[in-house]
Structure 1
Amino acid sequence: MLPTPTTSHVPYTLVYEPAEDSFLLLDTLSSPTSTAFLSSHFPPTSPPPLILEIGPGSGVVLAFLTAHAAAIFSRSDILTLGIDINSFACTSTATTARLACSSHPATSGRFLSTVQGDLAASLRPKQVDVLVFNPPYVPTEDLPRLPETLRETRREGKVTFDEESKLLELSYAGGKDGMETTDRVIDSLGEVLSDRGVAYLLLCAGNKPEEVKQRIRELDEQGGRQWKAETVGTSGRQAGWEKLQIVRIWRE
């Protein structure tokens, strides 16, 4: 079992704390079936893959992928990048990744940076080879908005309780069916992923994952290549439903 990166430095009143969904991603991405897929999909003779995690939070998943690149990808020349709307998560992820890489220098890829931004809007099209997204998947009435005063209070070294609550709400509140943010990512897959791109998406039972996978398979794609979506990791069944699952998305 590959060591989990430390996140003891992360301010959990402002940043999502690693939980069952985070650890399911770690287990799935390091499983024999996933490492075999990634190793064959990105052979050593191909250009170094760029791995992007949207919403890395504490950075535990991105740091895990970076620090254990040789075991997961069978190559250590991968490049990793994080994008999060929460500036505190950006800082936390950078620290988590650097600590993890310094602890495993022989197997680590190269961590590039974290960027504060809205999903993958800040990237040029078709640059991402592996996209990892643990979205805000809890069904809620509305999507939260970033507090307007956050930038000012951060400069003063203060964050109010209301702003702390809003930041954490951004990490779990997914709007209708928990899918409003996830839908935006799904709709952008053709623009975000490279020709060889693969995405790992976490869903809960309330997201109606079978319907989501079918919708992905029906996405339009030029050149006749078909989208594929299959469940590659689950947290087990509860009341007959897969409570959480990881879906791998790619094109033939």
Structure 2
Amino acid sequence: MLPTPTTAHLTFTHIYNPSEDTYLLLDTLSSPSQTTFLSQHFPPHTPTPFVLEIGSGSGIITSFITSHALTIFSRPDLLLLTTDISHHASLATPTTVLHNPPPPNCSSGLFLDSLTTDLSSPMRRGVVDVLIFNPPYVPTDTIPFTSSTAFSNLSTRSSFDEESYYLELTYAGGEDGMGTTNRLLEGLDETLSPRGVLYLLLCAQNKPEQVAERLRTGGYGGDGSGGPLWKVEKVGSSGLRAGWEVLGIWRVWR
């Protein structure tokens, strides 16, 4: 089992504290089934894979992949970038990468930067080879505003209000917890490269089987006319609680 990156250098007043969902992603990405898939999907003679994590939070997932690129992909030449709507996360992520160097005598991936932005909006079309997203998936009545006005208004509010706002961004998913995730999936065809793969975390309340079927049948077309057909497979699970599977990792690819 690969070591979990340390986050002892961080405080978690404004960013998401790694929890069960985070560790499920780490375990899934480093599982034999996924390291085999990734090494075969991105063999050494092919172009360098570009990995994008959306909503990096503490940076623990990207740090993990950067440090253990050779183990996970069977090649160290990864380029990694992260985005997050919170500038606190954009500062935390590179710090976590620096605090978690690769094992001795082992090459690592190349971490490029962490951008403060919405989803993958700065990316050129079709450049992302591996997309990783642990979204705000908790069903809520509303999703916090993420406009520039919303952020500028924070300067007039208490530190408690600011902390509450940023933490709400990490979990509040709107109806069925899918508000933000649906936006990502609507634009997935434009984001992923022809060989692109998405690793997406969903909880039981997100109705993951319905999401998977919608992807398989072209139900995520941004213009409403129907989208591409995707392969979808559940590749990780948190197990059962009271008869319900709480969290799952789903792999989506062309």
Structure 2 unmatched ranges of 5 or more: 222-226
Alignment of 1:1-252 (within 5 A): 1-101=1-101, 106-146=106-146, 148=149, 150=151, 160-219=159-218, 226-251=229-254
Q: Deviations over 1:156-215 (max 9, x none)?
A: 9x9711011000000000000000000001111100000000000000000000000001
Q: How many Å apart are 1:6 and its aligned residue?
A: 1.1
Question: Does the 8 Å CA contact 2:59/2:93 hold for their aligned counterparts?
Answer: yes
Give the Cα separation in 1 of the matches to 2:164 and 2:47: 42
Which residue number in structure 1 is paired with residue 224 of structure 2? none
Aligned pairs, how many?
Answer: 247
Matched AA of 1:175: G
Aligned partners of 1:250 and 1:97: how far apart in 2?
27
Deviations 1:82-131 (A, max 9, x none): 00010010110011112223665623110000000000011111010000
The answer to whether the 8 A contact 1:9-1:92 is kept is no
Asked whether the 8 Å contact 2:189–2:228 carries over to 1, the reply is no
Aligned-partner Cα distance in 2 for 1:115–1:39: 27
Q: For 1:247 and 1:72, how far apart are their aligned partners in 2?
A: 17
CA distance in 2, matches of 1:212, 1:149: 30
What SS does the corresponding residue of 2:232 show, helix, strand or coil? strand
Structural RMSD (CA): 2.2
Cα 1:149/1:173, change in 2 over 3 Å: closer
Moved over 3 A (4+): 102-105, 146-154
The question of whether the paired residues in 1 share the 8 Å contact of 2:55 and 2:84 is answered with yes
Cα deviations by residue, 1:34-53 (Å, 9 ceiling, x for unpaired): 00000000000000000000
Q: Give yes or no for contact 1:235–1:244 (8 Å, CA) kept in 2.
A: yes
Structure 1 SS opposite 2:83: strand
Which structure 1 residue ranges, 5 or more long, are not aligned?
A: none
CA distance in 2, matches of 1:50, 1:178: 28
Mapped to 2, the partners of 1:184 and 1:211 lie a distance apart of 16
TM-score norm. by structure 1 comes to: 0.92
Would the alpha carbon gap of residues 104 and 163 (structure 1) be closer, same or farther in structure 2, given more than 3 Å must change? farther
d(CA) in 2 for partners of 1:152, 1:102: 40
User: Structure 1 residues 149, 183: CA separation in 2 closer, same or farther (over 3 Å shift)?
Assistant: closer
Residue 219 of structure 1 and its aligned partner are, at CA, apart by 2.1
Specify the SS of the correspondent of 2:144: coil
**How far apart in 2 are the matches of 1:126 and 1:72?**
23
Whether the 8 Å CA contact 2:18–2:58 is kept in 1: the answer is: yes
What is the rounded CA distance, in whole Å, between the counterparts of 1:143 and 1:149 in structure 2? 12
Contact 1:232 1:245 in 2 (8 A): yes
What SS class does the counterpart of residue 51 from structure 1 fall into? Answer: strand
Q: Supply the AA of the counterpart residue of 2:135.
A: P
Give SS of 1:196's match. Answer: strand
The DSSP-based 3-state class of the residue aligned with 1:100 is coil
Q: Name the SS of the counterpart of 2:40 in structure 1.
A: helix
